Amino acid sequence: MNIFQFLKRKRGRETTPPKLTPQAQEELVAEFEKKFHLHFHRPELIITALKHRSYLNITNEDRIFSNERLEFLGDAVLDLVVTHYLYEKFPKRTEGELSKIKSILVSKPVLADVANQVSLGDFVLINWGEEKTGGRKRQSILADAMEAIIGAIYLDQGLEAAREFIHTHLLRNFQKIIKRGLYKNYKSILLEFAQSKGWEVPSYKVVREEGPDHAKEFVIEVYVDDQKMGEGRGRSKKIAEQQAARQAVKKLKLDKK
């Protein structure tokens, strides 16, 4: 049950994504804190962390009031915590080996899966267009919200609280995530192949952008040794590049699994 369905049930009336009243914001914060066993000294940070940029069309706020700044901060905190964890856990692994493991753990697919498992999408604030097109399950929205929540916890309660949240929802499942092998970094696979051949680094080219600003989709082509080897699309350039690289890896028969 997402936040708008929750409000509808409580009030007995239809509630499509509106601009939340102060009372509705308090209810959202209370439900979030109950779900994740957290208590925020600055509850407004939760609202910001959950506010996808599409929701700004409803609130008429500038883009800086979306969750993107908190996402930026949370990404850095996540990177530090995961790096420290791997450094301590694998004292005999090389920097390159640790980097590969970290790239999986902090990747958008993994973060989106974690967010799905805890139903974070139910709390995300999006506009009606995103609501109708499945935005609450969209990988990029979920992963970004996860990073934004980490950033909010860090600002509100410090690094140790953020570390505990990351350990609880991500690192405690470290072995399962790695063993599943579903989160390959296809760009890295393609890069290593090109380097082994003495070729230039694969290049990625945005060929077009589709859709409105709040739901933009990128179409990207990847070139290996000056030849087009794949095309991908996604709600971010990173996702589209990974999809293009994945196609190239398959075409070059580099994926042995």
- Computed over its alpha carbons, how large is the radius of gyration of the chain? 20
Q: What is the largest CA-CA distance in the chain?
A: 66
- List Cβ neighbours of 196 (8 Å cut-off, separation of 6 or more): none
- List Cβ neighbours of 150 (8 Å cut-off, separation of 6 or more): 74, 77, 78, 162, 165, 166
Catalytic residue status for 147 = yes
Catalytic residue status for 33 = no
Alpha carbons 108 and 241: distance in angstroms, whole number: 13
Catalytic residue (choose from 147, 156, 221, 241): 147
Catalytic residue (choose from 75, 144, 221, 241): 75
Alpha carbons 49 and 154: distance in angstroms, whole number: 12
Query: Which of the residues are catalytic?
Result: 75, 147
